[in-house]
Amino acid sequence: MKGKRAIWALGAMSGTSLDGVDAAMVLTDGETVFEFGPHAYRPYSAAERQVIRSALGRWPKEPGVAEAAEVVETAHVEVLSRFSGAEVIGFHGQTLAHEPGGRGTHQAGDGALLSQALGVTTVWDFRSTDVEMGGQGAPLAPFFHYALARFIGATEPLAMLNLGGVGNVTWINPWVARPEDRGALLAFDTGPANAPVNDLMQARRGIVQDEGGALALQGQVDAAVLARFLALPYFHRMPPKSSDRNDFRLLLDQVSQLSDPDAAATLSAAAAAAVAWGAEHFPAPVSRMLVTGGGRHNAAMMAELAARLPGVAPIEAAGLNGDMLEAQAFAYLAVRVMRGLPTSAPSTTGVPAAVGGGRISRPDSAA
């Protein structure tokens, strides 16, 4: 992609909550966001979700991985084929394992297959280069968060918090010229968000989530469990840092003796407490924390956040779509990759220098 030209990009995200595939279009030149286009959602069936869940924590060629990848690819082709007019697709895939400093990072799904199936150039495998260069490989949405801060006309530092399966937060100074420049961003995974609550509900009640936080609102937070949780080594590491969906599985053991409402309340509070702990690292205070991801629909989690931090509000308060923001991010990042621009920096993933990740696959007709 030559020159600074705005194009329609289509992004897709299958997150650690394992709910389904979000897809959305963005008009961007890889720096400025000009317009948002149509979007769609394709949920996973219970059977598909179980195939993916059984492969969590596994690496390429291990049992169950090929089956999970097939589910992910099929779902993506199905939802992405509903769109037209995209010049590039940003395909994140489904994270099965994430171990920066160890075995690396593994997102199931073949972008080359999608490119052939859809006939559109596809950017994928966004995280591997960052990890190979010594970064955490996550979070990757911060550069998009920076563009969004400019889009909404932010005039002072603010934070954007994504409450997916894992939580991640971006502190943004919109006055710094570029997202890769020193002082523009600080980003890191806060810790668990929806994943423990979802796993609890699946294990105890056979349902995928605590809808709206209704069960948690009936319970009491166990302060002792919360204190043990915040004593974990992860919370004493300086950012940037990232975590895997399974890094906090012990939380479920900690609430095993609690009633369903108390367990749900405690896990929701743990997600909020992790965010508040992380906010201590912000370079400057923020007056607004805009929340995206499924967790913003959990009234218990949002109440716990509001009790700990100022200016907490769903991102819709700024006129943005919290359900589609991650998909939009990978549309935006795909254009950056096509232009050879960085997608992460020392302040977002801990990589030694700003780096652009992603592999580019073109269909036969465009090869």
Instruction: Outline where DSSP puts E strands in 142-301.
Output: 158-163, 166-172, 185-192, 289-292
pLDDT at 313: 98
List of residues 6+ apart from 157 with CB closer than 8 A: 171, 172, 173, 174, 282, 283, 284, 285, 286
Q: Is the pLDDT of residue 3 over 90?
A: no
Local structure of 165: helix, strand or coil: coil
pLDDT tens figures, 221-259: 999 999 999 999 999 999 999 888 878 888 999 999 999
- Listed in sequence order, the residues at least 6 apart from 363 whose beta carbon sits closer than 8 Å to its beta carbon are 115, 116, 118, 119, 120, 121
Helix (H, G, I), strand (E, B) or coil at 26: strand
* Cα–Cα distance for residue pair 3/135, rounded to 1 Å: 29
Chain centroid to CA 77: how far?
20
Whole-number average pLDDT of the chain: 95
Band the pLDDT of 1: cuts 50, 70, 90: low
Same CATH topology for 7-138+326-366 and 153-318: the answer is yes
Q: Contact 102/91 with Cβ under 8 angstroms?
A: no
Burial 96-111 (b: 16+ CB within 10 A, else e): bbbbbeeebbbbbbbb
**Please, which pLDDT band fits residue 322 given cuts at 50, 70 and 90?**
very high
Strand partners, 188: 169
pLDDT in tens, 97-127: 999 989 999 999 999 999 999 999 999 999 9
pLDDT in tens, 147-202: 999 999 999 999 999 998 899 999 999 999 999 999 999 999 999 999 999 999 99
Q: What angle do CA 47, 50, 56 make, to 5 degrees?
A: 150
Tens digits of residue pLDDT in 260-316: 999 999 999 999 999 999 999 999 999 899 999 899 999 999 999 999 999 999 999
**pLDDT greater than 80 at residue 2:** no
Domain boundaries, the chain: 7-138+326-366, 153-318
In angstroms, rounded to a whole number, what is the distance separating the alpha carbons of residues 3 and 9? 16
**The CATH homologous superfamily of the domain defined by 7-138+326-366:** ATPase, nucleotide binding domain (3.30.420.40)
Predicted confidence at residue 324, as pLDDT, reads 94
Q: At CA 189, angle to CA 187 and CA 193, rounded to 5?
A: 135
Whole-model pTM? 0.92
* pLDDT value, residue 35: 98
Question: Which helix (DSSP H) or strand (DSSP E) does residue 307 occupy?
Answer: helix 299-308
- Over residues 28-50, the mean pLDDT reads 97
Q: What pLDDT is attached to residue 112?
A: 97
With cut-offs at 50, 70 and 90, classify the pLDDT of residue 367.
very low
Q: Mean pLDDT over residues 53-58, rounded?
A: 95
- Superfamily of 153-318 according to CATH: ATPase, nucleotide binding domain (3.30.420.40)
Which residue's entry shows tokens 């609102």? 217
Residue 366 reports pLDDT greater than 70: no
**Interacting residues of 17 by C-beta distance below 8 A, sequence separation 6+:** 164, 165, 194, 195, 198, 209, 294
HSE of 137 in the Cβ direction (CA atoms, 13 Å)?
25
